[in-house]
Chains A and B, each alone.
Chain A
């Protein structure tokens, strides 16, 4: 069964450093999502792509976060510089189209020291 791949699974960094997360969606899925899940809370959407275009980044802290999906397939989420409050699980999901079921990857757990 096809799955969403994410790497790394775990990342520990010091504040002010740069970090990057990678996501490879299920093949053929046009829509890709990045979520942040703070411990004890539900996931919150950071950015949504339709193919290579951003369709919603209203909750993305653009002063430090950036996301790209250059060829409309895999995607990278970057944080620079990382802050203590960025410690969270970063989840990637994909769906065939916007209204279809979202399938989640295993996530990247980020710890900022």
Chain B
């Protein structure tokens, strides 16, 4: 069965600093990988997704993630944090894109002014 591990339930960075949110996955077949963002009392919004092809994926709001098969990782980065980035971020996996999404437990990102 597939699974997702997000290292760090809480991450704090200063405004303008690099954002790095970690995600490791397990999947028996080549995975589809996703990052979603959730603002308080709202649904999830897709930031970016990896299906096949280029391993560096660019998303909305300046975020990007790199699929590293050898490390079974899909870490999310943003070069310069903005106050509006404060939210909860979820990594998710779907083996081959054919199976249901399995989400990690989330990482709450706090931006320090």
The chain A residues found within 8 Å of chain B, CB to CB, are 4, 6, 9, 40-45, 48, 56, 91, 93, 98-99, 101-107, 109
Contacts and interface: CB of A to CB of B under 8 A. Distances in A.
Contact of A101 (B46, B90, B98, B100): B46
Interface residues of B, number: 21
Given A42-B90, A42-B103, A45-B101, 19 more contacts: A4-B43, A9-B41, A40-B9, A42-B4, A42-B92, A43-B101, A44-B103, A91-B43, A93-B43, A99-B97, A101-B46, A101-B49, A102-B46, A103-B46, A104-B43, A106-B41, A106-B42, A107-B41, A107-B43
A41 B105 contact: yes
Contacts, number: 49
Contact of B44 (A6, A43, A45, A56): A43
